[in-house]
Amino acid sequence: MRGHNFLALDFGAESGRAILGTLKDGRLIVREIARFPNTPVERQGHYHWDIPHLFGEVTKALEAHAAEKLDGTESLGVDTWGVDFALLDSEGELLELPYCYRDSRTDGMMQEFFKRVPRERIYQLTGVQFLQINTLYQLFSMAQQKSPQLKKAGHLLFMPDIFNYLLTGEKKTEFTIATTSQLYNPLKNNWDEEILAALGMSMDIMQEIVPPGTRLGKIRESIGEQTGLKELTVIAPATHDTGSAIAAVPAEGAEWTYISSGTWSLMGVEVGKPVITDKAREYNFTNEGGVDGTFRLLKNIMGLWLMQGCRNAWGRYDYEELTRLARDAKPFKSLICPDSGDFFSPPDMPEAICAFCHDHGEPVPASMGEIVRCVLESLALQYRVVLNQLREIQPRDIQTVHIVGGGCQNKLLCQLTADATGLPVIAGPVEAAAIGNLMVQAIAGGHVKSLAEAREIVRRSFEPAQYEPHNDADWDAAFERFNHLREDSAQ
């Protein structure tokens, strides 16, 4: 039986990759075609995503794929991180490079916007968590600064929309990426007019929202000529990378929670409809779109950004070396609150971690191993907090933790998560976003019947690692200490 080939372009905040997926005999085989760094560029004191460079890497990846002369590739799908966007003029030309969500322009913008629309009303309309990085507050910062680009804008495209537009000429926004923006109303299944009006924006700037699996069209003729892939069809998978990653969770039944682990840790459950309640708002949970009519009730946790920041500061060490140092360090010496604003974009992450410990009465870690151990144990304790909150705001029992994405390779963090939550952890697949992207393309092509079947294929195709919890009373004591720290840092 001939296999079916699909190509996923998966962009993260650190790197991009082109992954070939071949579906054959009920299994998915994946192979990396290309990988390239994704580094924000500085322009006049602000950080932007370098779209021309990234799209140049896309065309190189397509050329490399075409050079392999495989027996046909049916489609291509793009997924990226959420919230960030570009503005185009009425002729479809990019007005400026998209801002990076860690840019400081959104500092204080949430509180200012709450003067226009109260926090409670925003959540009632959107069901989205409050983060200063959300598209809503990025746009509000532009409105406050009377941005000329905002005045000239004819179209708003989110990050995956930009690549799809450059590939096909079609301007659409896929459902899962729309729901990250805090501009989308899940009860109306459309952009929210009240929110946009409060921004002083027209609905006309927004694009039609299409479901995962939508065929956007053939690749542009010029790109087809350049790359040798003239007949390639572009499909919108779950274009938000977390939406694609959760589609690849190899779970059965319903009694599980997921952690999509990378720069951010996205922890939640899959639900059939949004959970928009006072308690969900109090705990700052978000309702993001998923595949097959689902929603992802989840919380953003700062994630391995903290470890990335340490590695960048220390230079010559790789993640495996740092994890080994952490494994040998004394348990529970120091704890931090991973979601503290102190860690959002500090100039020196290890320094920020030590300063937080000093300011909040925690022993200051004295070595690299102690700092990394502090990060990983604190993340695991934060997962326990979110697990307890999930159990409170929705009725489903949770018996297993699935960790997918690059962070599932960190064996120490996986074991600490099992220990902290008291639940077995199933880790993998690593390239979950790309795999989910590929499986949605396979569903769109009629080769896979449902999301449940797609997950069954993932289970057959990728062997997970499993971690059993150690019933250690030290974790209960650490959790009590962690909760006191959270209360102290919130004051």
Length, in residues, of the chain: 491
Can you tell me the distance from the alpha carbon of 233 to that of 6, in angstroms, rounded to the nearest whole number?
10
User: Which residue in the block uniquely carries the two structure tokens 């950080």?
Assistant: 47
Assign 337 to helix, strand or coil: coil
Can you tell me the distance from the alpha carbon of 194 to that of 252, in angstroms, rounded to the nearest whole number?
39
User: 157 forms bridges with which residues in the sheet?
Assistant: 86
Contact 436, 243 (CB under 8 A): yes
Contact 256, 401 (CB under 8 A): yes
Token pair recorded at residue 266: 């996205």
Q: What share of the chain is helix, strand, coil (3-state, %, to 5)?
A: 40, 20, 35
Residues 6+ apart with CB under 8 A from 27: 457, 460, 461
DSSP 8-state code for residue 332? T
The separation between CA 285 and the C-alpha centre of its own chain, rounded to angstroms, equals: 15
Instruction: Kindly provide the residue ranges of all beta strands, DSSP E only, lying in 281-353, ordered along the sequence.
Output: 286-289, 295-301
Angle, CA of 325, 328 and 329, to the nearest 5°: 85
Contact 430, 405 (CB under 8 A): yes
Measure the N-to-C terminal CA separation of the chain; round to a whole number of Å. 63
Sequential DSSP letters for 403-445:
EESGGGG-HHHHHHHHHHHTS-EEE--TTHHHHHHHHHHHHHT
Of 54, 51, 63, which is closest to residue 36 (Cα–Cα)?
Answer: 54
Which amino acid makes up residue 66? A
Of 103, 101, 201, 82, which is closest to residue 153 (Cα–Cα)?
Answer: 201
Assign 331 to helix, strand or coil: coil
What phi-psi label fits residue 293: left (phi over 0), alpha (psi between -120 and 50 degrees) or beta? left
User: Which residue in the block uniquely carries the two structure tokens 């899940």?
Assistant: 186
Please confirm, yes or no, whether 89 is among the known catalytic residues. Answer: no
Contact 417, 383 (CB under 8 A): yes
Token pair recorded at residue 307: 């470890």
User: Which residue in the block uniquely carries the two structure tokens 């896979």?
Assistant: 448
Can you tell me the distance from the alpha carbon of 24 to that of 11, in angstroms, rounded to the nearest whole number?
25
Catalytic residue among 10, 241, 339, 419: 241
Q: How far is CA 233 from CA 75, 167, 245, in A?
A: 5, 10, 22
Residues with catalytic roles: 241
